[in-house]
Amino acid sequence: MHEAYVLPGPLALSRSTVDRAADRRADAAWLDALWADGATRVLLVGDGTVAADGDALRFVAPSDAPDGERFLLGLDDGVAYVAVHVGEKPAGGATLREVGAALDDRDAGLAVHAIALANWHATHRFCPRCGARTRPEQGGHVRVCEAEGSQHFPRTDPAVIVLVVDERDRCLLGRSAAWPGNRFSTLAGFVEPGETPEHAVVRELYEEVRVRVTSCRYAGAQPWPFPSSLMLGYYATADGEDPTPDREEIAEARWFSRDELTAAMAAGDVLPPSGISIARKLVEGWYGRPLPVDVSWR
């Protein structure tokens, strides 16, 4: 039954217009020239935030940039975009939950790239092989061990996030034990080592609510740098057996028809997933129209 559903776009954090210029990151002279060019635009990033003014990023000239790790974000319309990791929240710092939906496509892509890179650098200062210090190279897209030269690349952790429907076209939503109030969402979990995303869909649904998925289909993905996830969205089918929450990760899980979900949201018994999440888009793809706007949860 899930074949009917399409993830409605756009996903706020999946937008990008910038050429990452990955083929030129190793050219140190070229990077130095970018930093010496007054037309280059520098974004300050730190503590999960980027410098922003309202609905646009705030850039400074290289001559006004503070010290810090330097990242190459890419090229757009002949202009180079770089970032400085200042290690703390910069002036005007805003999180992706605060500005992710408001930014235009170019700025959204730059912000997600910069924050994801900064999150990785902040926790990989030492070599996982020998414990020595590492230093960034190639525009911040690798760290190199200062003792033995081993290279370490930015990590992204894949996770699956799943909207399950049953034979009566109801959808399965769960309430996490860690969330406040009546927040219900799609179920999700990290892909484990040696596992495909599809295996993770089946395993997570059984582990969290004892529901057996019979088929699933990839719907779309969104980077989720809180701090380092890539959310792989799926629509799946299961028999409409009663879910049994594990009570550790999931406190409550229920099947909803569209009418039941509409009534539950109107009564305040169910708060839908937040604005920039792929969970919200997965639910809307099944629901058939946008969910009510709720600004109480970001």
- Footprint on residues 57-116 left by Zn ion (CB under 5 A): none
> Which amino acid appears at position 176 of this protein?
S
Please pick, from the candidates 28, 104, 129, 157, the single residue that binds Zn ion as defined by CB under 5 A: 129
Q: Is 94 left (phi over 0), alpha (psi -120 to 50) or beta?
A: beta
143 binds Zn ion per the rule CB under 5 A: no
Least distance in Å: CB of 117 to Zn ion?
21
Applying CB under 5 A, which part among 132-140, 195-203, 204-212, 265-273 lies near Zn ion? 132-140
Please pick, from the candidates 32, 148, 157, 239, the single residue that binds Zn ion as defined by CB under 5 A: 148
Applying CB under 5 A, which part among 28-36, 120-128, 228-236, 290-298 lies near Zn ion? 120-128
Least distance in Å: CB of 143 to Zn ion?
10
Nearest residue (CB) to Zn ion, 129 versus 155: 129
127 binds Zn ion per the rule CB under 5 A: yes
- Footprint on residues 171-230 left by Zn ion (CB under 5 A): none
Least distance in Å: CB of 145 to Zn ion?
3
Applying CB under 5 A, which part among 9-17, 64-72, 122-130, 252-260 lies near Zn ion? 122-130
Nearest residue (CB) to Zn ion, 6 versus 130: 130
Give the rounded distance of the alpha carbon of 170 from its chain centre.
27
51 binds Zn ion per the rule CB under 5 A: no
Tell me the site size for Zn ion, rule CB under 5 A.
7
Least distance in Å: CB of 125 to Zn ion?
12
Binding site for Zn ion (CB under 5 A): 127, 129-130, 132, 145, 147-148
